[in-house]
Amino acid sequence: MISTIAVGTDGSETASKAIEVGAELARRFNAKVVLLSAYDEPLTGSTGNVDEREWARNPAARLREIPARTERELKNQGIDCVTRTGKGNPAKALVELAEKCDADMLVIGNKGMDRRVLGSVPNSVAHKASCSVLVVKTT
């Protein structure tokens, strides 16, 4: 049974398609969605509301706000949804966050997935995750 679906997001078009697929699966299985986002620099000084002008100066602000907006949109659609963030290498952080939220499935986009490129996020996640991984074909 699928009760928790983790979806990796970074605000890209590829991640948006992964969110669409994750949301559809959540509807079909009446599952919870956990949006996962990773960042490399410290998140500082925010109370949760981000002035979009800050995005130009602070990429971490963007990585906070995009999942928060998506969470609100999914909740408005009646989907149980929360957001979790992690610091460090995106692939490692996504795998760790999926484990912490007891995800039954991790949904990610395929952008950057290339067998010749070691360390691509989708490739690394697919090999290291402890749950099922759905790589959404977006390119």
Provide DSSP, the chain: ---EEEEE--SSHHHHHHHHHHHHHHHHHT-EEEEEEEESS---S--S---TTHHHH-HHHHHHHHHHHHHHHHHHTT--EEEEEEES-HHHHHHHHHHHTT-SEEEEE-TT--TTSTT-HHHHHHHH-SSEEEEE---
What fold characterizes domain 4-136? Rossmann fold (3.40.50)
- Domain segments of the chain: what residues? 4-136
Q: What is the pTM of this model?
A: 0.80
Nearest to 18 by CA among 3, 6, 1, 4: 6
pLDDT in single tens digits along all 139 residues of the chain:
899 999 999 888 889 999 999 999 999 999 999 999 887 654 444 445 545 554 455 656 666 778 889 999 999 999 999 999 888 888 999 999 999 999 999 999 987 544 445 448 888 999 999 999 999 988 7
CB 34 within 8 A of CB 82: yes
